[in-house]
Amino acid sequence: MDAPFILLGPLLSPSGMDAADWLPDGALVVDEAGRIVHVGHAASIATTMSPYPVIRTNDLILPGFIDTHVHAPQLDCRGRHGADLLQWLDSYIYPAEQRFSDEILAADVSRRFFASLVSAGTTTALVFATSHEHATHIAFAEAEKCGMRIIMGSMLMDRNAPAELCVDRCSAEAAMGRLIERWHLATPLLRFAVSPRFAPACTLEMLRMAADTARRHDLHIQTHCNEALSEISLMQQLFPHSGSYTQLYHSAGLLGTKTILGHNIHTDQAQLRLLTESGAAVAHCPDSNLFLGSGRFPLDEHLQAGLRIGLGSDVGAGTTVHMLSIMRSMAHAQGKSLHPLLPLYCATLGGATALGLEHETGSLTAGKSADIIIMHIDNLLCHGSGDVGVVDVASALVYTTPEERVRRVWVAGKELTIR
Ligand SMILES: [Zn+2]
């Protein structure tokens, strides 16, 4: 059912890294425009007085999940063993991305990719496409059909990758212009992100062109940084006078408040300070880091630096699109017990904040877009009794709920199809 409607049931909505609103008898009103206009206790609204249809549930009402780092063309590459990042890229990823020159394949994978995100309860994602302009148009068309909130860009590479995936700077700039015109400027839920893959696959001129394009059109920038030791050493060989990985991106003009860096594992205090000063955000991808053995994300150091942190599935180095699994991996990667509200925050409001969308999505708050999911949780314990606390509910959700429990999904008040 599309908006307008009133949703009645237990409701959990993160409000900070260690805080959430928990309403065992929640009520949420969504208007015709797909905006949340009221959140409160069921008793706070007179449903009999409202002309809106009422949806009642005993399952848990949540904000949709946010994936801040994921690769659409890598959906079918999950679980492919590689010795490390660079070898894995050469063996599996570049061949898979080359196949996106085939339009039928590009459409098929893109369709299944967005369908799987919706079924996992993800309502917003920051996505890498391939370097093909046409395949990126196809991916945007599939994103529009599925109804998600998507920020996506064609991959920029002009060296150290198969020739079929490298695009020269002028052609890449022109292609981005057409993608911005067709999607970023013309569709309400779709945005274009400037997406240099990582320093080893780009010349300095390409990185600078990327930064200029983003500045000119006020776009997001997404890339990878400090993921694997072999990658960092290759970066140092290619840019011997650039200092750290973060300094290289900074001097190329790539760091700003709309920049999201994937991984950032092998960093240090000077680089973290530079990120904080520039206002860039980090997409933490724990499942991917565990799978490729890239290293342990220095979570405490990032938190102390005051950086915005979102969670990313990083499919296909990540093995799943399910953000519930990624939340669990975040805790496992730290080797200690994490308070459940922290990973939940990073996968919702924290992700929205990392993307600069915290006024639009990420929590169930009046004034925001109705990006909502309903999940079934065993023994949701409460059944309206109000006996169960917010930490109990968050723990049950983050640490024990099977992935495939998403029952309904809305973006901007429009109900999406779960396949
Ligand atoms: Zn990635």
Out of 140-149, 189-198, 397-406, which region has the weakest mean confidence (pLDDT)? 397-406
pLDDT digits (tens, 9 = 90+) for 238-247: 999 999 999 9
- 8-state DSSP, 57: -
Distance 90 CA to ligand 1 centre (A): 14
Model confidence at 49: pLDDT above 90: no
Mean pLDDT of the chain: 95
What's the gap between Cα 12 and its chain centre? Answer: 20
Distance 70 CA to ligand 1 centre (A): 6
Distance 292 CA to ligand 1 centre (A): 11
Say which residues have a Cβ less than 8 Å from residue 342's Cβ, sequence separation at least 6.
Answer: 17, 18, 330
Cis, peptide link before residue 188, omega less than 30° from 0: no
Distance 69 CA to ligand 1 centre (A): 6
Q: How many other β-carbons are positioned within 10 Å of the β-carbon of residue 310?
A: 29
CA-atom Rg of the chain in angstroms: 21
* Separation of alpha carbons 76 and 72, rounded Å: 9
The pLDDT, as a whole number, for residue 158 is 98
Vertex 281, ends 397 and 147: CA angle to 5°? Answer: 60
Model confidence at 407: pLDDT above 90: yes
Distance 314 CA to ligand 1 centre (A): 5
Cis, peptide link before residue 316, omega less than 30° from 0: yes
Distance 128 CA to ligand 1 centre (A): 8
Give the CA distances from residue 301 to residues 273, 305, 308, 313, 338, in Å, rounded to whole numbers and listed in that order. 10, 6, 12, 21, 15
Give the CA distances from residue 171 to residues 15, 110, 154, 175, 198, in Å, rounded to whole numbers and listed in that order. 43, 23, 12, 6, 18
Model confidence at 380: pLDDT above 60: yes
Instruction: Tell me the whole-structure pTM to 2 decimals.
Output: 0.97
Distance 332 CA to ligand 1 centre (A): 20
Distance 312 CA to ligand 1 centre (A): 9
Distance 220 CA to ligand 1 centre (A): 16
